[in-house]
Amino acid sequence: MDYFLCVIGMVFIIEGLPYLVFPEKLKIYLIKISTLPET
């Protein structure tokens, strides 16, 4: 169970790194994605 929680914690850290390292570029990227037409 400890190993599972460690893996879950690492996944959350890796998922959050782009928001921490490149907040402005990520904001622009998310705006571009939201304006794409649905196909």
The 10s digit of each residue's pLDDT in 14-34 is 999 988 899 899 889 989 999
Domain assignment of residue 14, given as a range: 2-34
What are the backbone dihedrals phi and psi of residue 37, each rounded to the nearest 5 degrees, phi first?
-75, 145
Single pTM value for the model? 0.55
30 lies in a domain?
A: yes
25 lies in a domain?
A: yes
16 lies in a domain?
A: yes
Instruction: Report the number of distinct structural domains present in the chain.
Output: 1
28 lies in a domain?
A: yes
27/34 Cα distance (integer angstroms): 11
The predicted pLDDT at position 9 comes to 95
14/24 Cα distance (integer angstroms): 18
39 lies in a domain?
A: no
CB neighbour class for 1 (10 Å; exposed up to 12, middle 13-18, buried from 19): exposed
19 lies in a domain?
A: yes
